[in-house]
A = this chain, B = another copy of it.
């Protein structure tokens, strides 16, 4: 295992310590339980937007804490959702009296831990709304399964809900905007290599030189299918077409496009992919109104990428364009 770490069991805490040193003007870090809150928390009268999940997806979520995005992030151990007490402690630190919005990726663990925390909050009289992100079209959707998992749309939902909350929108409205984002966004990813969970010390799976995993999530898990390695253009077409077909975009629709690296993929390759994505969208008369290209929701050092498209209207673009000051998103 080749990693720039000290102790596999302390990676989360040491990375958080690094963030605390690096961004004192943007955020504060608490240990035991671990959470990150914006430097000026709590904001009186403002809905507090809280997200969390396993670590190993950096910059998500802690890198999105700051003005105009998250009030708090709850980082669990690597790939393991945070616990209810951790979420509750973060919630207490950012509660401004206007209620809490939980942005939760649809994984059994995340859903249950946030649900328990939400139940506790509600018992204590603190209003909570939860927005569930389940955008991965690689996963078949059905009433009888865990449903689709949450991936790239999470980043977009955190930005957009964060902007609405910052502007003073009430909880019900911030939640409604978050649900709209969740409904209108879709993602899909591929992996060229596995990643190594530090405490495990070896790759979660092994992939021959000429193969790739299609329909991966962000936890180094194998995907839906293993196929021969293809060209960047073919991969982009496959991912984009699956997304287009799942969320029918009409001619003339506008989207925010996220071309996301999984952690070990050079930026150059993401540009090559964005190039083909832009062509595909143009062919369908879909306008990419905004884009993000880079490592935004990762799986440690995995090589691979994911595409996310979010259908937007003026309202969502307005919130997207609103100022944001976090370590990883800044405008």
Contacts and interface: CB of A to CB of B under 8 A. Distances in A.
A209 B203 CA distance: 13
A273 B22 contact: no
Interface of A: 1-6, 11-12, 14-19, 21-22, 55-56, 58-59, 63, 192-193, 209, 212, 229, 231-233, 235, 263-275, 278, 288, 291, 293, 295, 298, 300-301, 303-305, 327, 330-331
5 contacts: A14-B275, A15-B275, A17-B275, A58-B268, A266-B298
A5 B301 contact: no
Contacts of A11: 268, 272
A293 B23 CA distance: 10
A301 B21 contact: no
Given A21-B278, A268-B300, A303-B301, A192 B4 contact: yes
Nearest to A14: B272
Contacts of A209: 1-2
A11 to B, nearest CB: 6
Say whether chain A's binding surface is mostly helix, strand, loop, or mixed: mixed
A330 B11 CA distance: 29
B6 A232 contact: yes
A5 to B, nearest CB: 5
B18 A271 contact: yes
Nearest to A281: B21
Given A18-B278, A264-B303, 20 more contacts: A2-B193, A2-B209, A3-B232, A4-B192, A4-B304, A11-B268, A14-B271, A15-B275, A18-B271, A18-B272, A22-B274, A22-B278, A56-B266, A59-B267, A63-B267, A263-B266, A265-B301, A266-B298, A267-B298, A330-B330
A215 to B, nearest CB: 16
A31 to B, nearest CB: 13
A17 B273 CA distance: 10
Contacts of A1: 209
Contacts of A266: 56, 58, 263-264, 298, 300-301
B268 A15 contact: yes
Contacts of A291: 22
A269 B5 contact: yes
